[in-house]
A = this chain, B = another copy of it.
Amino acid sequence: MQLGWIGLGQMGLPMARNAIKAGHTLTVYNRTRSRAEELAHEGARVASQPSEAAQNDVVVTMLADDAATEEVVFGSHGVLAALQRGGAHVCMSTISVALAQRMTQAHREAGQIYISAPVFGRPEAAAARKLYVVPAGPQDVCARLQPLFDAVGQRTYYMGEEPAAANVVKLSGNFLIASMIESLAEAFALVRKYGVNPQAYLEMITTSLFNAPVYKTYGGLIVEDKYEPVGFKMALGLKDVRLALAAAEAAAVPMPVASLVRDRMLTGIALGRQDADWASVARIAAENAGL
């Protein structure tokens, strides 16, 4: 496929690289141009503006947050103005449901197509083409985009015609991780107070009931009480929980565990730990137990 690709950060760069490897032709744009140049050596064409990347049938955006996405889409030299009628904008970033809804409408009014296709996985998973891709939007368009999704991920989960549904799913997934961290944090605080060896405890739960990678990964961080190097920053974790709560509020869904996790992360940030891994909420649970 001929693809525009906007955003070459920790996630975007390895994903774009995999798209190239899979045989797609990319025109890439990144605010910091040097990262785009890297891909030039691998066959990408480097664009000077988002609009230049958008002059393709399909343009992918993979950016840090709502603000960056809004600027690239609605700003001058932006995607919305440059994309041709019938062209598709595939937004793979973790953004708010409200922004997804706004882009859905704006692209529709411009005779274009908007697809949300957020991904699950850390940078290592992106590099290894092990992401999980969660697209939503017109089904035929998503079907045509399958080669793109296959190029960056190990499996695709289509979530229906309404693009924002995919963003809700992504945010709910991050909420599930955050709530799991908090629950583990409380469980570890409890068993440690009774003298249980944390490593033995982790071994037990992750080889019996909770035999899932996330339990092993985050449980391991909690056992070692080691939150650097950072996989996912507390400040970003809070952002995603906040976006989940905003989506929930818009639909009148009370989520008390999400509220509780948000308060924990706010405590972490108030204590100056915004740059630690979000698993460090476990340290707050331990401190509150006098550990």
Contacts and interface: CB of A to CB of B under 8 A. Distances in A.
B120 A208 contact: yes
Nearest to A189: B253
A83 interface: no
Given A179-B179, A212-B215, A266-B249, A186 B258 contact: yes
Interface residues of A, number: 76
Contact of A194 (B186, B210, B247, B270): B247
Given A168-B190, A259-B260, A159 B196 contact: yes
A254 B266 CA distance: 6
Given A209-B120, A212-B212, A214-B209, A162 B252 contact: no
Given A157-B200, A214-B210, A194 B258 contact: no
A214 B205 CA distance: 11
A203 interface: yes
Interface in A266-291: 266-267, 269-272, 285, 288-290
B190 A288 contact: no
Interface stretch (A10-18, A22-30, A169-177): A169-177
B204 A169 contact: yes
Contacts of A213: 209, 211
B259 A262 contact: yes
Nearest to A158: B200
Chain A facing B: main interface SS: helix
Nearest to A238: B249
A244 interface: yes
A197 interface: yes
A256 interface: yes
Which 6 residue pairs are nearest across A and B when measured between Cβ atoms?
A270-B290, A259-B259, A212-B212, A252-B270, A254-B263, A179-B183
23 contacts: A97-B194, A157-B204, A157-B208, A160-B196, A165-B191, A165-B194, A169-B204, A172-B187, A173-B209, A176-B205, A176-B210, A179-B186, A186-B253, A211-B212, A212-B215, A252-B289, A254-B267, A254-B285, A257-B257, A259-B263, A267-B289, A270-B290, A272-B290
Interface of A: 97, 120, 132, 134, 155, 157-160, 162, 164-165, 168-169, 172-173, 175-177, 179-180, 182-184, 186-187, 189-191, 193-197, 200-201, 203-205, 207-215, 242, 244, 247-249, 251-260, 262-264, 266-267, 269-272, 285, 288-290
